[in-house]
Amino acid sequence: MKVSKDSKLKDIYSKPVGKDIIDKLSMQLGVSPKLLLNPVTGNLRLSFIERLSGKKSVRNFMTDFLEMVNSEPGVPFHGKSEIHEKWWKEAVFYQIYPSSFCDSDGDGEGDLKGILSKLDILKDLGVDALWLNPVYDSPWDDNGYDIRDYRKIHEKFGTMEDMGKLINEVHKRDMRIIMDLVVNHTSDEHEWFKKALSDKDSPYRDYYFIRPGKEGKEPNNWKSFFSGPAWKKVGEDEYAMHIFSEKQMDLNWDNEAVRKEVTDIVRFWMDKGVDGFRLDVINFISKKPGLPDGNETIGELINYTGLEHYYYGPNLHRYLRELKEKAFDPYGGFAVGETPGVGIEAGKLLTQEGRGELDLIFGFDHLETPGHTRMEDYVYDINYLKDYFIRLEEGMSGKDWISIFTDNHDNPRMISKIDHTGLYSDKLSKVILTMLLTLKGTPFIFQGQETGRKNADFKDIGDIRDIESLNLYKELTGKGKSSEEAFRVILSGTRDHARIPIAWNESENGGFTEGQPWIKQSMDYKDNNVEKQMKDPYSVWNWTKNLINLRKQDKTLIYGDVVFHNKDKKNWFSYERISGNSKYLIEMNLSNKMMRRPLNIPLDRIILSSEKNPERNIFRPYEVRISDLGQK
Using rule CB under 6 A, residue 94 touches ligand TEU: no
Q: What's the min distance (Å) between Cβ of 374 and ligand TEU?
A: 7
Binding residue for ligand TEU (CB under 6 A) from 345, 410, 463, 587?
410
Query: Using CA atoms, how far apart are residues 500 and 432, in angstroms rounded to an integer?
Result: 20
Q: Which of 21, 15, 8 is nearest to 301 (CA)?
A: 21
Using the rule CB under 6 A, is 182 a contact of ligand TEU? yes
* Residues within window 329-358 making contact with ligand TEU, judged by CB under 6 A: 338, 340
Task: Tell me, letter by letter, the H, E, C secondary structure of 272-307.
Answer: CCCCEEEECCHHHCCCCCCCCCCCHHHHHHHCCCCH
- Interface residue with ligand TEU among 61, 131, 145, 541 (CB under 6 A) is 145
> Is residue 362 part of the contact set for ligand TEU (CB under 6 A)?
no
Can you tell me the distance from the alpha carbon of 231 to that of 567, in angstroms, rounded to the nearest whole number? 47
> Site residues for ligand TEU, window 563-582 (CB under 6 A)?
none
Contact between residue 134 and residue 178 where contact means Cβ atoms under 8 Å apart: no
Closest CA to 399 of 359, 362, 365, 340: 359
- 131 vs 575, which CB is nearer to ligand TEU? 131
Catalytic residue among 141, 188, 280, 419: 280
Find the catalytic residue in 23, 180, 338, 450.
338
Residue 281 interacting with ligand TEU (CB under 6 A): yes
CB of 177 to ligand TEU, least distance (A): 18
Nearest-CA neighbor of 121 among 545, 473, 509? 545
Query: Which stretches of 134-225 are assigned E, i.e. beta strand?
Result: 136-137, 149-153, 176-181, 185-187, 210-212
> CB-wise, 458 or 543, nearer to ligand TEU?
458
* Closer CB to ligand TEU, 98 or 560, in the complex: 98
- Report in angstroms how near the CB of residue 281 gets to ligand TEU at its nearest: 5
What is the nearest approach in angstroms of ligand TEU to the Cβ of residue 307? Answer: 10
CB of 11 to ligand TEU, least distance (A): 31
Q: Where are the beta strands (DSSP E) in 10-161?
A: 93-96, 129-132, 136-137, 149-153
Binders in 231-260 for ligand TEU, by CB under 6 A:
244
SS3 content of the chain, % helix, strand, coil (to 5): 40, 15, 45
CB 28 within 8 A of CB 371: yes
Q: Is 155 in the active site?
A: no
Q: Output 245 or 610, the one with its CB closest to ligand TEU.
A: 245
Pairing of strands 403-404, 442-446: parallel
132 forms beta bridges with 96
Distances in whole angstroms, Cα of residue 250 to Cα of each of 162, 187, 443, 476? 30, 9, 30, 26
Binding-site size, ligand TEU (CB under 6 A): 12
Find the shortest distance in angstroms from Cβ 53 to ligand TEU. 30
Q: Does 280 bind ligand TEU (CB under 6 A)?
A: yes
Footprint on residues 457-486 left by ligand TEU (CB under 6 A): 468
C-beta closer to ligand TEU: residue 76 or 493 = 493
Binding site for ligand TEU (CB under 6 A): 142, 145, 182, 225, 244, 280-281, 338, 340, 409-410, 468
Q: Which residue numbers are catalytic?
A: 280, 338
